[in-house]
Amino acid sequence: LIHLLSTEGLPARILRQILDRAAGFVAAGEQGEKKHADLAGKTVFNLFFENSTRTRTTFEIAQKRLSADVHSLNIQASSTAKGETLLDTIHNLEAMGADMFVVRHAESGAPFLIAKHVRPGVAVVNAGDGRHAHPTQALLDMYTIRHFKGDFQNLRVAIVGDILHSRVARSQIHALTTLGCPEVRVIGPKTLLPRDVEQLGVQVFHDLTEGLRDVDVVIALRLQNERMNGALLPSANEFNQFYGLSRERLTLAKPDAIVMHPGPMNRGVEIDSAVADGRQSVILDQVTFGIAVRMAVMSTLSEARA
């Protein structure tokens, strides 16, 4: 693995290797303060051109636990605002000794562009690009599913909501199908599903009550208003009426189904508080596992370059 840009095309062997390595970090007490030397002497730049709470912070924690020298650029205060191009910014940071870039960008493909132009030996991690991919989110979601459900071979997973604009859904679908999940369902209105969604190997449901029946895992997604150019279809109220995850609707899933959400949540729109904070919710576990999974990703990339 030279860069981590997408889960699409990643073989099951690599996905499992990252999940196993993350499990090793968890077993070693990584949710605590234990330090590792995997990135000692390495300089990592976090470039978040788009807002983030979970991804940015858990990457920083993971980098520090791996003993990296960590620099998180304040993009709003950087020379990007003076017209410097993305690649000029990258080349200047390489001149400062960068070994790894973690990049989030509103434009789909930006981390791929960077990966094409970095010096040999420099790794790029996609922390979410436009509506395209969010591979570390998908990996931490796979970790969470495996943690609570054992493995993927007998699972029925439902992803509910705005699939069309969701880089998370796309990355989850690729990871789930590669890992052998036999039934991945997407549930949403036609306006929020990609036209070619069936080609991703999923079952499509427009009716939430049908789609939720007997599933083992429910993943709720928010409406990605920032990618809709002002045309929110359906409205938040309509969405909640037909697709909002309520306690009553959740009873259609298996009694031991887990509820996931990548965050940020819009309570009362795609998910009710009674579900988000309920006994089946593993939403905060996802966040915690994100640290070990991101450690595993960066450790794997660094090892490939050693």
Question: Residue 172 annotated as binding?
Answer: no
Pairing of strands 100-105, 123-129: parallel
Of 127 and 208, which CB lies nearer to ligand CP in the complex structure?
127
Q: State yes or no: residue 235 binds ligand CP (CB under 6 A).
A: no
Question: Residue 55 annotated as binding?
Answer: yes
Question: Residue 263 annotated as binding?
Answer: yes
Distance of CA 163 to the CA centre of its chain: 13
Binding mask 41-60 for ligand CP (x = CB under 6 A): -----------xxxxx----
* Cα separations in angstroms, 72 against 37, 88, 93, 205: 20, 17, 11, 41
Q: Burial code of 232-271, b = ≥16 C-beta within 10 A, e = fewer?
A: eebebeebbeebbbeeebbebbbeebbbbbbbebbeebbb
Name residue 147's amino acid.
Answer: H
Integer Cα distance of 26 and 64 in angstroms: 15
Q: State yes or no: residue 136 binds ligand CP (CB under 6 A).
A: no
Q: 219 — phi, psi (to 5°)? A: -115, 115
Question: Residue 16 annotated as binding?
Answer: no
Shortest CB 282 distance to ligand CP, Å: 14
Q: Which of 111, 128, 211, 244 is in the footprint of ligand CP by CB under 6 A?
A: 128
Shortest CB 33 distance to ligand CP, Å: 22
Q: Which of 161, 188, 244, 263 is in the footprint of ligand CP by CB under 6 A?
A: 263
Instruction: Give me the residues that bind ligand CP (CB under 6 A), please.
Output: 52-56, 128, 137, 262-264
Q: Residues marked as binding?
A: 54-55, 82, 104, 134, 137, 167, 222, 263-264
